[in-house]
Structure 1
């Protein structure tokens, strides 16, 4: 009988980390692939995961098309939509075991080593998540772009671009700043080019503008500073919704967690602690059966 292998997957709207482990939990390989958010990719997220996994299998001389000895722990953005989750599971190949959860759950598992605690994911999108002592979980936010994802890269990029358009039409008090000029130059110096950029723009496209905001904030651009501070307040609102008393251990994770740290409100900066480990470690816990299946409540449920 072949040795059991474990595969951990941490998938979001911008990129996916896929790791392969031996029976003892030692990492055999790690690779980064494209987005696997179910909101963006649906069941086709499997194509991204399996293509990347085949490369890891080849590196250890494992049959790249046989996953029956693998136990999967998969955390993806969009799994909180029950229909998307079901469609993804229905499309799964033959595997040893399959555990599918939200990317928030594996991030919380990794950040707090499976113990009670809360996290805010701040990346392309945003969501707040809490694991309680009884094993249940609660999620706030996570409604997706454009109605949700407050404080995220997509939210920040969209808000900045709206400002830039208003500034160049004379509708923004104070006029255009360096940030606004950079956004217009990048997205469309002419109206037709801007309309082309906007047509069908997804959350990932807006999130790609967030680094411009962070860079300009670092140069004391007033509009960028205001936007970064507004993002910080939105992140704080998610955190307070998870624990108004600000007592439960809390970590921020995701690609914008560190860049936005200087712009968080002081009470949130004093509350946040560094995560113990990365979300991929939580995916491994799920694959190994060292964490319970996700039990998710919404809002005040």
Structure 2
């Protein structure tokens, strides 16, 4: 028997690969977190279907810290893995083998990981809203139906990318003269200037194509990160609150399409719904009106590590 995979020497890995951030947790047999690592996110649908990107492998390497041979089980949730399709287990197996992890990981989409981690084998609903968004119904933890999650071009309505894109559209309309100037566009342009994407936050028609080129050539996270700017401005700017209200209507509309029933479980995840802000408050208020039992999944990577440990029978007795 491999001594490193017995008793207290075992390690359990949980990973939450979102559209903007990747988080990996390594836990010991006693349930204590040994290592954490974070890095850039990934969307399997749009950027990684040919294999695990190197930046993701580096995050796993930092978390494992050379202890891959001690890992007994791994559970990975990945944004952009299509519901009902075969998960990319082989790609992650190859990546982990290079890090001395010898077992097959359990790989699923991030929504399934969220629900199974926080609702177990119950039936109910789940929604992730971060860079992208998707909602789903589960029957005894098995995914049976989804709404949205179609990516930034066709869907993800109410997501961080959606909010950021709407703010940018408003800013462009103001810059080129189609709309009156507002405080929100000034905040958006100042944010882009602080990132070095445009040279000046001055509202000037000459800057239109500089803004467009900066967004088109940058990662999706640049647009999605503007959601935080919009949400923070919502308390003082009506145009920002209007965008937040629109995002809330999109998210609750997705959940409504799943025909929620009183006293069902609803698990919420993703950066927009796991922090106190006007958007999460609006979704929580809607859920209260529907008499849903809400759980907020704030540390999905840790929950995934705990799920990995629960999948391995105890070898200590």
| TM-score, with structure 1 as normaliser | 0.81
Q: CA–CA distance in 1 between the matches of 2:63 and 2:177? A: 54
Q: Which residue of 1 aligns with 2:134?
A: 127
Q: Which residue of 1 aligns with 2:266?
A: 250
Q: Is 1:206 aligned to 2:223, yes or no?
A: yes
Q: Is 1:182 aligned to 2:187, yes or no?
A: yes
Alpha carbons of structure 1 residues 136 and 261: separation in structure 2 relative to 1, 3 Å? closer
Contact (CA 8 Å) 2:267, 2:297: kept in 1 or not? no
Q: Which residue of 1 aligns with 2:20?
A: 14
Shift of 1:158: 0.2
Q: Which residue of 2 aligns with 1:92?
A: 95
1:35-87 per-position Cα deviation (integer Å, ceiling 9, x unaligned): 133233445535334423333333xxxx45x4474421110101117488367
Contact (CA 8 Å) 1:107, 1:278: kept in 2 or not? no
Q: CA–CA distance in 2 between the matches of 1:198 and 1:135? A: 38
Q: CA–CA distance in 1 between the matches of 2:305 and 2:212? A: 44
**SS of equivalent to 2:38:** strand
1:214-262 per-position Cα deviation (integer Å, ceiling 9, x unaligned): 121121x121111000000001011112234354211322111132123
Contact (CA 8 Å) 2:89, 2:105: kept in 1 or not? no
Q: Which sits farther off after the overlay, 224-233 or 184-193?
A: 184-193
Q: How does 1:74-93 map to 2 (within 5 A)?
A: 74-80=76-82, 82=85, 85=88, 88-89=91-92, 91-93=94-96
Q: CA–CA distance in 2 between the matches of 1:14 and 1:162? A: 21
How many residue pairs align between the two structures? 283
Q: How does 1:35-54 map to 2 (within 5 A)?
A: 35-38=41-44, 39-42=46-49, 45=52, 47-54=54-61
Contact (CA 8 Å) 2:113, 2:304: kept in 1 or not? yes
Alpha carbons of structure 1 residues 182 and 68: separation in structure 2 relative to 1, 3 Å? same
Shift of 1:273: 1.9
Contact (CA 8 Å) 1:98, 1:287: kept in 2 or not? no
Q: Is 1:267 aligned to 2:292, yes or no?
A: no
Unaligned ranges ≥5, structure 2: 193-197, 202-206, 313-317
Q: Is 1:236 aligned to 2:252, yes or no?
A: yes
Q: How does 1:54-65 map to 2 (within 5 A)?
A: 54-58=61-65, 63-64=66-67
Q: CA–CA distance in 2 between the matches of 1:134 and 1:250? A: 12
| TM-score, with structure 2 as normaliser | 0.78
Q: CA–CA distance in 2 between the matches of 1:164 and 1:70? A: 51
Cα RMSD (Å): 2.8
Unaligned ranges ≥5, structure 1: 292-301
**SS of equivalent to 1:228:** helix
Alpha carbons of structure 1 residues 181 and 43: separation in structure 2 relative to 1, 3 Å? same
